[in-house]
């Protein structure tokens, strides 16, 4: 669909050729599902808006995990939060029932969206890696009125305010459009540098479980690629990448992002590892020096470690936040019981460095107490 022009060719999520309707094209799916009021900036910018936008994709048995992640975001954050929750239809009522009971105190809003992929290739995208995981690739095209966005996996826990990672938007230089953390700090245990059959960013690849995006810049950028000498926009490059590499990728959409930023390294800002701390940072011995010094800022419980007994340090943090009741004393109801549980895990490699799991949490609780005492 184009303004003042009727065309017979339509392919949702894909940019129509410029000779069909030039710059008047717009995304039908975005208009259908995006009801946010934040308008994109007229000029590309790194300055974040007052409201912080956070997106997550939840399918299958991920309801509880997603809610726990949202709770962790609410506890410490300062500026208002707008949650964009993409979930299977059968999960929508459950999300509403739970989230409507949260004591937001006016600082949190949420919008539920259906899981949606380009019609002609929906089956391919759905079965790529885990169900619904590749939905994140289409967020810049669906949430077209959102200028900047923090995407996180469902198994993320915030141990400090979302505001602090949101502030990295100000640190982007003129070419950077997104920020992610390395997949590994230690190449000897790295997956990409040992096994990948496709290009990847940097020495060990990047992990897309925490991805901060200036979506205005993403939508405007033309990406270098290894498929054509012509640079392609975000909506044009996704399906050709999938077709070229689908037999060579293991981690689905994360691999596609690695390929894109391999060819466009100037576009990525790299987080230190404590902003995306995973079991790989401690199960073979501690290898995230920043976390040792300052603590863990964002905990990423991939490998299902919140729900089994293989990594009890990760599970202890998850259970503590899941069971915390808003309004209860954070020291007595969250921090102290958590430390007691973590002390029981010292027989594991991660348990030996359990203090990195609470160092930042202690500071976040102190800072929150100060803000409350000042009435802010």
Same domain, 220 and 340: no
Same domain, 254 and 287: no
179-222 per-position pLDDT tens digit: 999 998 888 888 888 888 889 899 999 999 999 999 999 999 99
91: in domain = yes
Question: Is the pLDDT confidence value at 34 over 60?
Answer: no
Q: Which of 271, 306, 322 is the last residue of a domain?
A: 271
Same domain, 259 and 230: yes
Same domain, 190 and 226: yes
Q: In total, how many domains does the chain have?
A: 2
16: in domain = no
> What CATH number did the domain enclosing 214 receive?
3.90.550.10
**Residue 120: band (very low, low, confident or very high) from pLDDT cuts 50, 70, 90:** low
Q: Which of 249, 271, 293 is the last residue of a domain?
A: 271
Range of the domain at 291: 283-368
Average the pLDDT over 135-149 and give the result: 94
9: in domain = no
pTM recorded for the entire structure: 0.85
Q: Which residue has the higher pLDDT, 185 or 281?
A: 281
Average the pLDDT over 232-259 and give the result: 88
Q: What pLDDT is stored for residue 129 in this prediction? A: 57
Site of tokens 């949260």: 102
- Cα of first residue to Cα of last residue in the chain, in angstroms, is 47
362: in domain = yes
Same domain, 104 and 249: yes
- 256-277 in b/e form (b: 16+ CB < 10 A) is bbbbbbbbbeebbbbbbbbbbb
**Residue 250: band (very low, low, confident or very high) from pLDDT cuts 50, 70, 90:** confident
Same domain, 212 and 79: yes
Same domain, 313 and 174: no
200: in domain = yes
**Residue 169: band (very low, low, confident or very high) from pLDDT cuts 50, 70, 90:** very high
Same domain, 166 and 105: yes
Q: Which of 271, 303, 320 is the last residue of a domain?
A: 271
301-310 per-position pLDDT tens digit: 998 999 999 9
Q: What pLDDT is stored for residue 105 in this prediction? A: 65
302: in domain = yes
Other Cβ atoms closer than 10 A to 81: 22
Which residues fall within 8 angstroms of residue 221, CB to CB, at 6 or more apart? 177, 233, 234, 264, 267
56-72 per-position pLDDT tens digit: 999 989 999 999 999 99
Same domain, 118 and 160: yes
Same domain, 194 and 325: no
**Residue 123: band (very low, low, confident or very high) from pLDDT cuts 50, 70, 90:** low
Where would I find the beta strands (DSSP E) of 240-364?
A: 268-270, 298-300
**Residue 320: band (very low, low, confident or very high) from pLDDT cuts 50, 70, 90:** very high
Same domain, 294 and 255: no
6: in domain = no
Q: Which residue has the higher pLDDT, 264 or 188?
A: 264
Average the pLDDT over 143-169 and give the result: 97
């Amino acid at each position: 669909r184009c303004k003042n022009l009727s065309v017979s060719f339509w392919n949702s999520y894909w940019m129509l050729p410029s000779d069909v309707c030039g710059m008047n094209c717009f995304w039908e799916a975005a208009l259908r599902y995006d009801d946010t009021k934040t308008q994109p900036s007229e000029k590309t910018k790194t300055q974040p808006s007052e409201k912080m936008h956070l997106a997550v994709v939840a399918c299958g048995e991920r309801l509880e995990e997603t809610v726990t992640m949202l709770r962790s975001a609410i506890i410490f954050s300062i500026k208002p939060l707008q949650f964009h929750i993409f979930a299977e239809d059968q999960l929508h009522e459950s999300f509403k029932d739970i989230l409507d009971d949260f004591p937001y105190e006016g600082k949190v809003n949420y919008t539920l969206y259906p899981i949606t992929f380009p019609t002609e290739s929906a089956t391919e995208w759905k079965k790529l890696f885990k169900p619904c995981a590749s939905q994140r690739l289409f967020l810049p095209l669906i949430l077209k009125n959102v200028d900047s966005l923090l995407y996180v996996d469902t198994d993320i826990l915030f141990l400090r305010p979302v505001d602090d990672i949101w502030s990295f938007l100000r640190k982007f230089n003129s070419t950077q459009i997104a920020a992610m953390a390395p997949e590994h700090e230690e190449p000897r245990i790295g997956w990409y540098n040992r096994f990948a059959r496709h290009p990847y960013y940097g020495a060990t690849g990047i992990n897309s479980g925490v991805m901060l995006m200036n979506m205005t810049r993403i939508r405007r950028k033309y990406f270098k690629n290894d498929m054509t000498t012509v640079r392609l926009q975000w909506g044009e490059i996704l399906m050709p990448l999938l077709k070229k590499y689908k037999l060579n990728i293991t981690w689905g959409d994360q691999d596609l992002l690695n390929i894109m930023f391999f060819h466009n390294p100037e576009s990525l800002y790299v987080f230190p590892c404590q902003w995306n701390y995973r079991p790989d940072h401690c199960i073979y011995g501690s290898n995230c020096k920043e976390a040792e010094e300052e603590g863990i800022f964002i905990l990423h419980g991939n490998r299902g470690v919140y729900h089994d007994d293989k990594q009890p340090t990760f599970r202890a943090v998850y259970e503590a936040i899941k069971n915390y009741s808003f309004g209860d004393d954070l020291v007595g109801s969250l921090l102290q019981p958590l430390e007691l549980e973590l002390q029981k895990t010292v027989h594991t490699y991660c348990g030996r460095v359990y203090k990195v799991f609470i160092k930042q949490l202690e500071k976040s609780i102190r800072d929150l107490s100060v803000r409350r005492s000042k009435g802010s």
